[in-house]
Structure 1
């Protein structure tokens, strides 16, 4: 019995140590490179903050649902790069249930048309990023100097928008970021820094998983961006099966395959700009890391789910339909 008790205590200690390694609990101000993420004042500059750094160590003001509702409403009104309903057409076709097998039940494409001539502002720099990734996990991502330049261009473009400025102003007011430069540094790191999802290779990032999509364990993983959906459907690599649920504004839960690998359920908010999604996903992650946040938008309740990965990375972020 003593042996069993010792083993149980060892297992508990391992669990607690693993948790502590990815959390700032009892670690504020420290720097220990054995951990995947850090909890000191330089972690934003080094892009290695633990997900709960802001809450545990910075003494930030809590973001309430009313704060998120006000922010989301402002961002919606400021999203000049969002396509209006007259600038694209969708064809929902067959409504599925959660339990339907993954079979194509819709004969036509989801996007009937998109007026790409209206995709200006941040859109060209966003599109340039979408072909920079190896879609299957397990292969290390090799980032060229040209791809680094494309990422820098995209970051500069989105940070110049009212959407990201308004987001920064709220987070600055609440104590999350001291200046816009640190906000930009954090957004860049938490979305674009590479990490491993399999076998030790740096094969993934929050941006790749959420906006581009990945193939892992013979299934589509992530993939929550409407424009990437449109582009891959247009080339024939994506086959739309049907939708399960829809909600306002512009939200839909659907099923599809990419290169014959199935995505059983994925949510999209169609029409919105990449900076709109990045702003809301980032805000929810820093204020409710690894959890969900809810707010009102256009008269409807909207929920965003984020997951942290290895302590400080965004594992995934999506609208919960």
Structure 2
């Protein structure tokens, strides 16, 4: 009888010890109310992870041959380099998989120069600007009483990818605290734009470059990644799924002021209808056909201390260039060039629910 009691007690001790470990529990769905600590992805946000959560669940130990599992906080399969969700020890333990070749700064500048040349036929470089007075970061004193845009090639903006791009603008609720409700019609508009971008010379050249460098196996995997990072919905600072990379960067959002908003055609449209007040420029660069402008921004009564737009570029140029930089130089300044002029593209990622999205991307000096 004594032996039986001791055996039961020993078993209970083992269960208690196991309940405080993440061994075999990294793919837990939801909260395990019977355990004193958790091993699911939200445990970091709630501060109730088991002490070995990082060691066990954020590692590729004994997982290099296991396929994709959406419940794991990071992945150890051959496609995770393409989606940016590999565990930190993936390269060391799984021999780097199949993606993620090295790309030099010179290669990035050469590629971006090529993209700008290919974009010339679809560029709005004929847009006429009225820069007016200079200003400083965070100043909302109007140093430019007249609009920034004197004229734009409206025939171009009403055709091709520009027209497809503009058709998406009314799909979004600018307030990031309000959930986006993507209708079937809106999703068709998004996929139509993606297909047109990837069919363009600019889009194909960018995709083929990343494929040739081993970041993607083929165009299909690149397209899937492109769709996810730009159009996948996520939350900014908690709350509903009210944001996406595309909306933030190219359409503009409101989150404690202006958030994102780095597209010149959107700036022109909002200025044309009286919603955007151009205050003057902080810094400009003539890219021999395109213009890079840094400036404070005032939109729909909200302010932004400093922002930037690249005037004249097509939707396929911006999205393709930013994607290349997001993949090859994530969370850093990416060296690019246009018509012999050097500048940078800054990107930041945003990771949620096992996926990686474009947090932001913008041109800068």
SS in 1 for 2:237: coil
Distance 1:68 1:155 in 2: 22
SS in 1 for 2:163: helix
1:95 aligns with 2:139: no
Distance 1:165 1:105 in 2: 41
Kindly indicate whether the alpha-carbon contact (under 8 Å) linking 2:64 and 2:76 is maintained by their aligned counterparts in 1: yes
Distance 1:51 1:302 in 2: 30
SS in 2 for 1:138: coil
SS in 2 for 1:194: coil
Cα shift readout 1:261-280 (whole Å, capped 9, x = no counterpart)? 00211111100101101111
Residue of structure 2 equivalent to 1:3: none
Unaligned runs of 5+ in 1: 1-9
Structure with bigger RCO (C-alpha 8 Å, 6+ apart): 1
TM-score (norm 2): 0.75
SS in 1 for 2:131: coil
Cα shift readout 1:188-241 (whole Å, capped 9, x = no counterpart)? 111000000133200000000000111101x10100000010111111111111
1:115 aligns with 2:153: yes
Residue of structure 2 equivalent to 1:163: 202
Give the one of 215, 221, 226 matched to 1:182. 221
| Shift of residue 288, structure 1, vs aligned partner | 1.4
Larger Rg: 2
Paired residues, what number?
Answer: 304
Give the one of 163, 172, 176 matched to 1:124. 163
Residue of structure 1 equivalent to 2:144: 106
- Aligned CA RMSD, in angstroms, stands at 2.9
1:50 aligns with 2:55: no
| Shift of residue 42, structure 1, vs aligned partner | 5.3
1:200 aligns with 2:239: yes
Distance 1:19 1:261 in 2: 44
Cα shift readout 1:134-176 (whole Å, capped 9, x = no counterpart)? 0011000000111011111111111110001111111111111
1:69 aligns with 2:105: no
Kindly indicate whether the alpha-carbon contact (under 8 Å) linking 2:78 and 2:99 is maintained by their aligned counterparts in 1: no
Distance 1:103 1:309 in 2: 33
TM-score (norm 1): 0.85
SS in 2 for 1:122: helix
Residue of structure 2 equivalent to 1:302: 343
Distance 1:20 1:316 in 2: 31
**Distance 1:29-1:315 versus aligned 2 partners, 3 A rule:** farther
Residue of structure 1 equivalent to 2:77: 40
Cα shift readout 1:96-148 (whole Å, capped 9, x = no counterpart)? 123x5322221111111112112332111111111110001100000011101
| Shift of residue 178, structure 1, vs aligned partner | 1.6
Give the one of 286, 306, 309 matched to 2:327. 286
Give the one of 203, 226, 232 matched to 2:270. 232
**Distance 1:192-1:199 versus aligned 2 partners, 3 A rule:** same
Distance 2:271 2:50 in 1: 45
Distance 1:262 1:20 in 2: 45
| Shift of residue 304, structure 1, vs aligned partner | 0.7
Residue of structure 1 equivalent to 2:255: 216
SS in 2 for 1:155: helix
Cα shift readout 1:69-110 (whole Å, capped 9, x = no counterpart)? 1211111111121112xx321111110123x53222211111
Distance 1:19 1:284 in 2: 31
SS in 2 for 1:209: helix
Give the one of 291, 302, 319 matched to 1:261. 302
SS in 2 for 1:241: coil
